[in-house]
């Protein structure tokens, strides 16, 4: 890593028309108990940044000197440091050793006829480069992870329908970094639920991806407030035991459905699982398996899932089943266990005080 990055936090500012990356000394980020981000004072900073990076003016202004004698580049760095000081994203980056935070400033719905802007954290990562274009991949991945929540922001008027963020999550905008290989359609995902590593505004995060057929994913996109229930257990088979998680997605709506997730007991402990355990909430995403577009999402309280209890059982059982065949065990469960029956039994156990319903 270049020496000049040793004591710096790089903030990539991504606006409607322009972007840049600012190397800011870590000492400039104050440890505020109450950050100004999402406050009226912070909103003033956001409007300034939105105007500077939303009207194709940054390249012209960045090297110019303002009335106070400072360059616009230094003025923006100071504004960004004040805006982000004390935020969870910056505290997370500094505590975990990340040196890159992506901040998006996007058009919101107009107020009294005037253009306004809204700020969103897009990701946290590591970089060895100060080149702004090298940081665009974090913006793209962060936008992809946030897609269901951006849709809510658009519906609430916090993000404009014609903003670049809206175009990013629909695929209309690729920021000029689409690789040549992406001209070929991506292979469709199987109908399944699985753990997946993703760079989000929190940094490297383990999320739960529920890949569905397009019709199912499209129905979920129409649900206002998504909810998810989980019934988990360990099922013995002639081929060894297998972890069985049954997700009930939007159970109280016409779009609701059940989807199974199989856990290889011998795979635990793992870094993906550990990352989930360390987080207070876990992101659950519904994805169109054909397009890999997020159509719904919700944050689940980690404690409600019972990760540690499940892992303890899994490790104990896996130690006594050295010759378990995970794939064969999964096939046996799919052939012999009806998800609806498993759910009814779990609900019955809950009523008797013996439950694995989360």
User: What is the Cα–Cα distance from 118 to 45, expressed in whole angstroms?
Assistant: 10
The predicted model scores a pTM of 0.57
Cβ distance 203 to 93 under 8 Å?
yes
Task: List all residues 6 or more positions away from 291 whose beta carbon is below 8 Å from its beta carbon.
Answer: 214
65 DSSP 8-state letter: B
- CA angle, 188 then 177 then 78, to 5°: 125
Task: List all residues 6 or more positions away from 280 whose beta carbon is below 8 Å from its beta carbon.
Answer: 301, 302
User: What is the Cα–Cα distance from 11 to 53, expressed in whole angstroms?
Assistant: 14
What does each C-alpha distance from 316 to 266, 312, 313 come to in angstroms? Answer: 10, 6, 5
User: What is the Cα–Cα distance from 166 to 153, expressed in whole angstroms?
Assistant: 10
pLDDT at residue 76, as a whole number: 93
Q: Kindly state the helix (H) or strand (E) to which residue 245 belongs, with its residue range.
A: strand 242-249
User: What is the Cα–Cα distance from 294 to 292, expressed in whole angstroms?
Assistant: 7
Domain boundaries, the chain: 3-170, 192-351
CA 184 to chain CA mean position, Å? 25
Consecutive 10-residue averages of pLDDT for the chain (358 residues): 73 94 92 90 94 89 83 92 92 86 91 87 85 86 80 86 86 54 53 82 80 92 90 94 95 92 92 88 91 88 92 94 93 93 80 40
pLDDT at residue 77, as a whole number: 93
Kindly report the number of other CB atoms within 10 A of residue 336's CB atom: 9
């Amino acid at each position: 890593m270049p020496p000049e990055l040793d004591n710096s936090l790089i903030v990539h500012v991504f606006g409607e028309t322009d972007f840049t990356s600012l190397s800011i000394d870590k000492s400039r980020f104050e440890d505020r108990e109450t950050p100004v981000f999402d406050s009226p004072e912070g909103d003033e900073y956001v409007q300034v940044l939105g105007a500077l990076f939303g009207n194709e003016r940054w390249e012209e202004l960045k090297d110019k000197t303002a009335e106070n004698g400072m360059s616009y580049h230094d003025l923006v760095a100071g504004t960004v440091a004040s805006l982000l000081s004390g935020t969870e994203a910056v505290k997370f980056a500094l505590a975990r050793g990340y040196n890159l935070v992506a901040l998006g400033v996007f058009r919101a719905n107009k107020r009294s006829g005037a253009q306004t802007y809204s700020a969103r954290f897009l990701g946290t990562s590591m970089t060895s480069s100060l080149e702004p274009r090298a940081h665009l991949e974090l913006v793209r991945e962060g936008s992809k992870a946030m897609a269901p929540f951006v849709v809510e922001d658009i519906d609430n008027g916090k993000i404009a329908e014609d903003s670049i963020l809206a175009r990013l999550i629909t695929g209309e905008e690729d920021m000029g970094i689409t690789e040549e290989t992406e001209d070929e359609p991506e292979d469709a995902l199987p109908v399944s639920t699985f753990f997946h590593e993703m760079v989000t505004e929190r940094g490297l995060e383990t999320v739960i991806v529920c890949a569905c057929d397009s019709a199912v994913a499209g129905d979920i996109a129409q649900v206002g407030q998504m909810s998810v229930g989980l019934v988990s257990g360990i099922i013995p088979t002639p081929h060894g035991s297998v972890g069985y998680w049954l997700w009930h997605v939007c159970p109280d709506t016409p779009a609701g459905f059940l989807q199974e997730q199989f856990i290889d007991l011998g795979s635990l402990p793992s870094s993906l699982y550990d990352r989930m355990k360390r987080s207070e909430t876990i992101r659950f995403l519904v994805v169109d398996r054909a397009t890999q577009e997020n159509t719904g999402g919700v944050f689940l309280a980690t404690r409600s899932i019972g990760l540690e209890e499940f892992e303890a059982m899994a490790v104990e059982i896996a130690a006594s089943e050295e010759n378990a065949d995970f794939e064969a065990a999964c096939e046996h469960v799919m052939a012999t266990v009806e998800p609806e029956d498993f759910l009814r039994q779990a609900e019955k156990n809950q009523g008797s005080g013996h439950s694995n319903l989360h």
